[in-house]
Chains A and B, each alone.
Chain A
Amino acid sequence: MTRAGAAIRSHREALLLAFFAAFAIAPLALFANDADVRTLSLIFASIVLEALPFMLLGALAGGLIEAFVPRERLMSLLPKRDLPTILIAAGMGILFPVCECAVVPVVKRLTRKGLPPFAAIAYLLGAPIVNPIVAMSTSLAYRPYSGVAFLRCAMGYCIAVTVALFMWSLFRDGGIFLPYRHEAGKGLECTCPHCSCETAADGASLSLRLLASFRHGSDDFLATGHYLVIGAFIAALSQTYIDRNFFSGLAEYPFLAPAGMIVLAVLLNLCSESDAFVAASFRNLTPFSAQMAFMLIGPMFDLKLLLMYRELFTGRAIVSLALLILVSVSCAALLLGG
Chain B
Amino acid sequence: MIRSFVDRWWRFFVLFCWMFGLAGVLKNERYLSFLRPEFGVVLGIGAYILLGFLAALLAERNPSPFDMKRAATSLILLLPIAYLANAQGASLDASALRRRPMPASLFSPELAAGMSPLPATSGASPYTQRPTLLDLYAHPRMYSGKKVSVIGIVHRNEEICRESGRNVALLFRFLITCCAADATPLGVLVSADVPAGIGENAWAEVEGRFMVYRDDGMYVPVLEDVSVRSAEAPERPYLY
Cβ contacts under 8 Å, B68 to chain A: 10-11, 14-15, 18
Nearest CB in chain B: distance from A255 CB, A: 21
Nearest CB in chain A: distance from B52 CB, A: 5
Quick one: which of A21, A43, A45, A285 contacts B72, CB cutoff 8 A? A21
A278 near B73 with CB under 8 A, answer no
Which of A32, A38, A47, A211 has the most chain B CB within a 10 Å cutoff?
A38
Interface of A is mostly: helix
A53 near B181 with CB under 8 A, answer no
Alpha-carbon separation in the docked complex, A102 to B180 (Å): 20
Alpha-carbon separation in the docked complex, A13 to B73 (Å): 10
A14 near B69 with CB under 8 A, answer yes
A14 near B67 with CB under 8 A, answer yes
A235 near B181 with CB under 8 A, answer yes
A306: CB under 8 A from chain B?
no
Alpha-carbon separation in the docked complex, A25 to B86 (Å): 12
A281 near B103 with CB under 8 A, answer yes
B179: CB under 8 A from chain A?
yes
Which of B60, B64, B72, B91 has the most chain A CB within a 10 Å cutoff?
B72
Cβ contacts under 8 Å, A320 to chain B: none
With A244-B99, A285-B104 as given contacts, are A42 and B75 in contact (CB-CB < 8 Å)? Answer: no
Q: What residue in chain B is nearest A19 (Cβ atoms)?
A: B72
B124: CB under 8 A from chain A?
no
Interface of B is mostly: helix
Nearest CB in chain B: distance from A44 CB, A: 5
B112: CB under 8 A from chain A?
no
With A214-B53, A222-B73, A281-B101 as given contacts, are A189 and B64 in contact (CB-CB < 8 Å)? Answer: yes
Write the A51-93 contact mask toward B (1 if CB under 8 angstroms, else 0). 0111011011000000000000000000000000000000000
Quick one: which of B52, B55, B76 contacts A60, CB cutoff 8 A? B52
Report the contact-size class of chain B (Cβ under 8 Å from the partner): 35 or more
Q: Which residues of chain A in 1-59 are interfacial with respect to chain B, using CB atoms and an 8 Å cutoff?
A: 10-11, 13-15, 17-18, 20-21, 24-25, 28, 32, 35-50, 52-54, 56-57, 59
B39: CB under 8 A from chain A?
yes
Cβ contacts under 8 Å, B60 to chain A: 191-192, 215
A277: CB under 8 A from chain B?
yes
B46: CB under 8 A from chain A?
yes
A46 near B35 with CB under 8 A, answer yes
Q: What residue in chain A is nearest B76 (Cβ atoms)?
A: A226
B35 near A28 with CB under 8 A, answer no
Alpha-carbon separation in the docked complex, A241 to B95 (Å): 10
A167: CB under 8 A from chain B?
no
B72 near A57 with CB under 8 A, answer no
With A53-B43, A278-B182 as given contacts, are A42 and B33 in contact (CB-CB < 8 Å)? Answer: yes
**Chain-B contact segment, one of A108-116, A120-128, A265-273, A327-335:** A265-273
Can you list 24 pairs linking A and B with CB atoms under 8 Å apart?
A14-B69, A20-B76, A24-B79, A28-B86, A40-B83, A42-B90, A42-B92, A44-B87, A46-B179, A50-B39, A50-B181, A57-B49, A59-B49, A188-B64, A215-B60, A218-B57, A222-B73, A226-B73, A226-B76, A233-B79, A241-B99, A243-B99, A274-B179, A284-B104
Residue ranges of B at the interface with A (Cβ–Cβ < 8 Å): 11, 14-15, 18, 22, 25, 31, 33-35, 39, 42-43, 45-46, 49-50, 52-53, 55-57, 59-60, 62, 64, 67-69, 71-73, 75-77, 79-80, 82-84, 86-87, 90-93, 95-96, 98-101, 103-105, 177-182, 184, 218
A278-B177, A281-B184, A283-B103 given. 15 additional CB < 8 A pairs? A14-B69, A14-B72, A38-B86, A39-B92, A43-B180, A46-B179, A48-B80, A49-B84, A52-B18, A53-B49, A214-B56, A226-B76, A268-B181, A275-B182, A284-B103
